[in-house]
Amino acid sequence: VKSEGPKLVPFFKATCVYFVLWLPTSSPSWFSALIKCLPIFCLWVFLLAHGINFLVSHRSASRILAGLIFSAVGDAFLIWQEQGYFIHGLLMFAITHILYSSAFGMKPLDLKAGLLMGLVCSSCYAFLYSYLSGPFTYLVAVYIALIGFMGWRAVAGMQLCNDLWTWTKLSACIGAMLFMVSDLTIALNEFCFPVPYSRFIIMATYYAAQMLIALSAVESRDEEDFRKRS
């Protein structure tokens, strides 16, 4: 907390600015896009504050940074989703989930967690299916598969049974779950029915998810520091 907390202060301030201003979504502008993306920009700074050499030498951290960059572009597209940019935002976040999955890695495999995540995602898609039409029938299926895969890789890294988990792996796991909650709320609100307080739920879980996933990138730095102390 002492080492990473101060680096996250700009993120918390930017998030507060977003919720205090609460700019209307009915009149999108570049200013509203900036305010929405500002917390993600601060997470870029958070990772860059660990040093360029750290990012270059640790692929997981650089991939999470790349995911945050695509997330910001996706956020900007979704500001103008009523003008036909929803699919563009969907594509940017799909790339984000691929990058996060790559950062979390494929070891340990944990097929049980994968099966459970597959059942959860299949159930969500089965519920959404009757509300979908046109290209969204396939696009949403692919998106759910990608975010479900990302969630599986984050959960698999925990290894609670083997007592091998770390706070950064826990951070990645909780972050992935919150990301799924945020996107499910978007899907329900966009395709099915109005969700009460949807915007607050979506953005609160989204910002928390991105912060936790960004925090998980410092794991390799912790291991490096531990080896030096040893």
pLDDT (average), residues 17-29: 95
Give one DSSP letter per residue of 149-163, joined into a string. HHHHHHHHTT-TTTT
- Over residues 142-194, the pLDDT tens digits come to 999 999 999 999 999 887 666 567 888 999 999 999 999 999 999 999 999 99
Please give the structure tokens belonging to residue 141: 């299926």
Task: Say if residue 102 is exposed, middle or buried (CB neighbours under 10 Å; 0-12, 13-18, 19+).
Answer: middle
Q: Which of 4-8, 74-78, 136-140, 188-192 has the lowest mean pLDDT?
A: 4-8
More confident residue, 229 or 84: 84
More confident residue, 159 or 65: 65
Spatial separation of the C-alpha atoms in residues 87 and 139, rounded to whole Å: 8
**Residue 88 is part of which domain span?**
2-226
Overall number of domains in the chain: 1
Stated pTM of the model: 0.93
Whether the pLDDT of residue 72 is over 60: the answer is yes
- Over residues 76-127, the pLDDT tens digits come to 999 999 999 999 999 999 999 999 999 999 998 999 999 999 999 999 999 9
- Over residues 186-218, the pLDDT tens digits come to 999 999 999 999 999 999 999 999 999 999 998
Spatial separation of the C-alpha atoms in residues 78 and 94, rounded to whole Å: 13
Contacts for 190-194 with beta carbons within 8 Å, 24 or more apart? 190/86, 191/128, 191/131, 191/132, 191/136, 191/140, 192/127, 192/128, 192/131
Look up residue 27 and give its DSSP letter: S
Spatial separation of the C-alpha atoms in residues 46 and 176, rounded to whole Å: 19
